Structure 1
Amino acid sequence: MQHSAKHLKRVTAVGAVALAAFSLSPSVASALPTDNPGGHRAAPDATVVGGSRAQQGAFPFMVRLSMGCGGSMLSDDIVLTAAHCVDGSGPDTSITATGGVVDLEDPDAVTATSTEVVQAPGYDGTGKDWALIKLDRPLDQPTLATAQDDSYDKGDFTIAGWGADQEGGAQQRYLLTAQVPFVDDATCKSAYSGLVEDEELCAGKMDTGGVDTCQGDSGGPMFRKDDAGEWIQVGIVSWGEGCARPGKPGVYTEVSTFAADIEAAAAQLG
């Protein structure tokens, strides 16, 4: 089942958007322009809804991707992002990854160019929303461990991004961050009949809304601390209805479901 028009991926077309206009927005699945690769409508500039500005160095594994998505460093030269952010698998030198800063205009920002992309095998717009981007050189920044099982798929999660800070808003220059609570599958299913329960994870404030990822946050990580106090990625910003609406949580790729596939694909990239 394909997501309906109102249940949209949280990508934003940024090719023509000035760097200073970048921002995060609450729910990754907001409306996007129709000229976006992969048939997902791209949204206006936007960042994490209900968030606050992240401190420099707080989330050093975060990267901004030039097609209008977020991502996390899986290794020093491989970015983990969403399948709907890329246009299939194979050689690709069109993507620029920016990291090392919370301010996208900071002169200390580091960049690298893509060389190859792996989109989740079998991805058809529903579920399996993960992809890897191989870079032409390592970025000198920490990586983010991925959850290997569902032990950490509950509780409160941290989200971050340069997407819109309100539904239909503009992309942000500064990295925004917020916390969202876990929403169980049964409750999320009542909001979205198309939820792929074995592959997707929901989070957000069901009663009040107000905090979420949004356009431009697609592909970014949802993460929390593990038992050792280290950050671990449990989700990838995927889709939702609008941004931060009551009763409409954000939907994230459940990383633990695809941990083995992601590891295997990364090994093939070298």
Structure 2
Amino acid sequence: MNLRATRVFSIAALVVFTSVPALSETFSCKEPSSGDRVNRVAGGRDAIPADFPWQVAVRASGRFCGGSLIGRKFILTAAHCVDGLADAKGVLPPSAAVQVSLSNPHGQPAGETSEVKYVLVHNQWAGGASGSPHDIAILVLWSGFDVTDQAIINIPPPAIDPLYASPGTCAVVTGWGAMRVDGPLPERLQVASVPVRTLEECVQAYPAEDIGPNHLCAGYTGGGVDSCQGDSGGPLVVEGGPRGRLQVGVVSWGYGCAEPGRYGVYTRVSSYKKWIEETAARYKDF
């Protein structure tokens, strides 16, 4: 099993995203043929950065992960990306620098950057254990990003999540993760279309793991397209909601990357919507 964080790489120029074009063609899931299978996020496709303005890169004391804008100064990511860095109140010591960057126009994780003030890991996260549930965290930025509402991804409430993230729904996952297990990182943001699986399929894929309703699996039975190391914390998104896109998952873990019968495992974010809203409310005026 591998959690899907990896090591950092460099940052550069500034960018502000202002719109989200139509993405209907992106949400198209088709089981890859054996000749088309590649062990990388995006199934071989470079993303158009402006299509995914909520995507951010998280650099946390030697770890590289993804994340999503859920507010101008709030980032949603995976707990294992930032576990152990902050104290019980979420305060970072001077030695634990955490930065968040937007994509630049070339799709590189080198756009506008902000430092993180608070790291708020879910209190039920089991401290870095592989496959543990509650793999979710919120980062509070010192300085929020100057973006429009379209750059902030919505999260569905639990009551309607099944309507948008039902089994068979085509979702997209984005990130700068490895192109194969322990492989190189891409220069450009990648995007992959992956179908949501049933909870039963997820349990069957990982019978020795603690899979439950707070998880969501996505991928193909034959493998070939998946999130991978370095994509941890990034968003799994479906069509729907007032802005046309909803985040239903946070990249968490899997066995290898894009292996047959081994789906990508995501934290189901609707299960944590109340925690997210309450946490953000406590820190909105820090």
TM range (shorter): 0.7 to 0.9
1:236-247 correspondence to structure 2 within 5 Å = 236-247=250-261
Alignment partner, residue 153 of structure 1: 165
How far off its partner does 1:238 sit? 0.2
Q: Which amino acid aligns with 2:100?
A: A
CA change 1:75–1:227 in 2 (3 A) is closer
Q: What's the Cα RMSD here?
A: 2.0
Q: Which runs of 5+ in 1 are unaligned?
A: 1-6, 21-45
For the pair shown, the structure with the greater C-alpha radius of gyration is: 2
Which whole-Å deviations, capped at 9, do the CAs of 1:98-142 have from their partners, x for residues lacking one? 1042536587x1000000110001210310011000111111232
CA distance in 2, matches of 1:252, 1:102: 28
Q: Which position in structure 1 is the counterpart of 2:263?
A: 249
SS at match of 1:57: helix
Which region of structure 1 is more displaced relative to structure 2, 238-247 or 142-151?
A: 142-151
Shift of 1:177: 0.2
Corresponding position: 1:201 with 2:216: yes
The reply on whether 1:111 has 2:125 as its aligned counterpart is no
8 Å CA contact retained: 1:77, 1:139: yes
Correspondence for 1:210 among 200, 205, 224:
224
Q: Which moved more, 1:125-134 or 1:215-224?
A: 125-134
User: What is aligned with 1:61?
Assistant: 54
Runs of 4+ in structure 1 deviating by more than 2 angstroms, as ranges, are 17-20, 100-107
Aligned length: 235
Question: Paired residue for 1:186?
Answer: 200
Letter of the aligned partner of 1:219 in structure 2?
G
- The higher-RCO structure (CA 8 Å, 6+ apart) is 1
Gapped runs of 5+ residues in structure 2? 13-38
95, 98, 109: which is aligned to 2:98?
95
| Letter matched to residue 251 of structure 2 | V
Separation in 2, partners of 1:166, 1:53: 16
The Cα offsets for residues 187-212 of structure 1, whole Å up to 9 and x where unpaired, read as 11111021421210000001x21100
When normalised by structure 1's length, the TM-score is 0.81
Deviation per CA, 1:42-75: give whole Å up to 9, x if none: xxxx961524111131100110011300000010
Name the counterpart of 1:11. Answer: 5
Q: Output the TM-score relative to the length of structure 2.
A: 0.77
